Amino acid sequence: MLHLASASEPSWVGRALADLDAILLDHAHLEKKAAAAALNLIFRYPDRPLLMQPLSELAREELLHFEAVLAALGKRGSSFGPQRPAPYAGRLREVARVKEPERLLDSLICSALIEARSAERMGLLKDALLAAEGEPERALGRLYQGLLAAEARHHRLYLDLAESLFPKPEVDARLDQLARHEAAILADAPLEPRFHNR
x-marked contacts with Fe ion along 5-34 as a string, rule CB under 5 A = --------------------------x--x
Residue from 121, 186, 185 nearest 152 by CA:
121
Nearer to Fe ion, 11 or 83 (CB): 83
Within 110-129, which residues bind Fe ion (CB under 5 A)? 115
Binding-residue total with Fe ion (CB under 5 A): 7
Backbone angles phi, psi at 190, to 5 degrees: -65, 150
Under 8 Å between Cβ of 145 and 130: yes
Nearer to Fe ion, 65 or 121 (CB): 65
Residue 196 is a binding residue for Fe ion (CB under 5 A) = no
Under 8 Å between Cβ of 35 and 62: yes
x-marked contacts with Fe ion along 153-182 as a string, rule CB under 5 A = -x----------------------------
Other beta carbons within 10 Å of 90: 10
- Piece in contact with Fe ion (CB under 5 A), picked from 49-57, 85-93, 119-127, 149-157: 149-157
Nearer to Fe ion, 64 or 187 (CB): 64
Which residues, other chains included, contact 136 with Cβ-Cβ below 8 Å and sequence gap of 6+? 75, 76
Within 23-82, which residues bind Fe ion (CB under 5 A)? 31, 34, 62, 65
Nearer to Fe ion, 11 or 56 (CB): 56
Which residues, other chains included, contact 59 with Cβ-Cβ below 8 Å and sequence gap of 6+? 35, 36, 38, 39, 42
Residue 194 is a binding residue for Fe ion (CB under 5 A) = no
In whole angstroms, give the CA distance from residue 177 to residue 147: 27
Residues that bind Fe ion (CB under 5 A): 31, 34, 62, 65, 115, 151, 154
